[in-house]
Each structure stands twice: as structure tokens, then as C-alpha cells.
Structure 1
Amino acid sequence: MRARVLYATLTGNNEDVADVIIAEFERLGVQTIKEDISDVEALDLNPTTQDILVTVVYTFDLGTLADEAIDFYEDLPDVDLQGVTYGVAGSGDVYYGKDYGTAVDILEEQFSKTAGIHGASGVKVNLRPDAKATDELQKFTQALVQKASNN
């Protein structure tokens, strides 16, 4: 099984989130690639190159999507993700109230427009992954692998 983890980060927090997910994939024997989302063209995604696709992005100004992920987001509905299990996670800051982690919700909504398979509910991490968030991210990753295994 193969997974691809795409991330965007300003502070390093989302790379930490991605690393927790990747460590769990590797513990489960899943071959994993980690890439900066700004280096990936959504339209170049091929469903035969990964079984699982995870995006890890931060929420920017007033609950908007990170600039690095906008092109990916805009192209996503036109991407063939038939048979690909997807999941979304991201760090944020609860200080921002209703805008906390909205990038996770925005990307999950966009993924729902593809033929991909929703593998697990999105995970929002307050700042850096602590022990509780790490556990939640590990369970998220396990659910993705389980869902992909059943397809």
C-alpha cells in the first residue's frame, strides 16, 4: 500500500502533524511520500500512484485556506481520484475561535467533489501535536489504512 502526504506550513506545526501521520503509516507498513503541497499539481495526480492521499494544511487569515494550497484546491474537483482514499488534517490556533482549523473543513468539502473515498474525519490540531493530538492523528491514519484496505 502507498500513501502520499501533502503539507503546507509557515511555523513548522503542519510539518510536525504530517510527520506524525507518516510515522504511523510507516509503522503500519505503508510506503509513504511526503511533499510540500505547493510543489504538487493536483491535475497531475494519478490514482494508480497512491492508495491514500492526505493533505495537511493550515488556516490563514480569517479562516481562509493557506496560499500554498489554493491552486491545488481549485484544481481538485477536476482530478480523477477513483479508488483513492483521502483524509485531511491541519494545525490551527483555538485563539481564532470560529476560524480555528477551517482549512480542514474547506479541503474536505472540495475532496467530496472528487471520486475519491473519504477515509476518516478531518483532524484539527491546536498548534503542535501534543500527546492527545498524536493519538488522534494515529487513529486517523489507522482509519485511512483500514478504509483503503477494504477497497
Structure 2
Amino acid sequence: MLTAHVVYATMTGNNEEVANIVCDSLTNLNVKVTESEISQTDVADFMKADILVVCAYTYDEGAMPEEGLDFYDDLQSTDLTGKVYGVAGSGDKFYGEYFNTTVDHFDDAFKKAGATSGAEKVKIDLEPYEEDIERLNKFAEGLVKTASK
């Protein structure tokens, strides 16, 4: 059975909701899922899963979540070869060019660590609506399909 660890950072609750949707979708695809808040998660714990997911917000003009900086730094210096990853996040289009840049930063960190992208990153404006839930379900399906190879 495949395992997944979904980590989230949230300020408004939107990214916890995004994480919950991804977890439910993975569970429905027969994946054993662990979910945790980013400041309560060590990258070593993250390593125990086949599929690694980060759902995080972007603060202000492109700032990453303070509570996730250590995790982000540790992630980049960890060998994630053989792991499948995905990144999703809720942000606010109000910030224009800075919209959801944390998703891009985590995507780059996973690549730097040698992990394999299992799905296209998902950027959501504010809270997830029906079309976002569909995108997140497809995201989860892509992760499972890639990890099953």
C-alpha cells in the first residue's frame, strides 16, 4: 500500500482545507495518509512516505510562511530520490506577480532534493471551490499514478 504525508501551513484555514481535500482524495485512492502542520513536522518524518505533499500559503508580497522556513531549508538539503511529490496552495490574486509563489519555491526545493514531480502544482485563489476540488482530485490521482510506476 502506498503511503503519503501531507504537510500544510495555514493562516486563514484555506491551506488546511486544501490539505484535507488532498488527504481525502488520496485516502479514496487507497493510500495510507498522514497529515501534519508544517511547524510540527520534521523532514525526517516526511521521509517515511512514498508521496510527499506540501500545501502552503504565500504571505504578503511573496513571503514564505515563517513557521515553514526551517522545514523548507531542511527539505532542500535532504536526498529525496525515489520520492514522488506534489505542491498545492491557496493564495490571494490581489498580490499579482506574488500570487502563490510559495508553491513555486517548494516545487523548486523538491526538484533540488531529487524528488519526482507526480502532478502539476495547483494554485488556488482564496478558499477552494468546486472546480478547485476537481483539480485537487486530479492532482492526487496524478501523484498515485506516478508513485505506482
- What TM-score results when the alignment is normalised by the length of structure 2? 0.95
The alignment partner of 2:5 has SS state of: strand
**8 Å contact 2:18–2:90 — kept in the other structure?**
yes
Matched with 2:123 is 124
Structure 2: distance between partners of 1:61 and 1:129: 19
Matched with 1:36 is 37
Query: How much does 1:46 deviate?
Result: 6.1
Query: How much does 1:61 deviate?
Result: 2.1
Matched with 1:93 is 92
Structure 2: distance between partners of 1:20 and 1:76: 23
Matched with 1:3 is 4
Runs of 4+ in 1 over 2 A off after TM superposition: none
Query: How much does 1:68 deviate?
Result: 1.4
- What TM-score results when the alignment is normalised by the length of structure 1? 0.94
CA displacement, residues 97-130 of structure 1 (integer Å, 9 cap, x when unaligned): 1111111011101111012111111100111110
Identity across the alignment (%): 41
The alignment partner of 1:129 has SS state of: coil
Aligned length: 148
**8 Å contact 1:46–1:81 — kept in the other structure?**
no
Structure 2: distance between partners of 1:121 and 1:45: 24
Query: How much does 1:41 deviate?
Result: 1.9
Alpha-carbon distance change, 103 to 141 in structure 1, aligned in 2, over 3 angstroms = same
Aligned-residue RMSD, C-alpha? 1.1
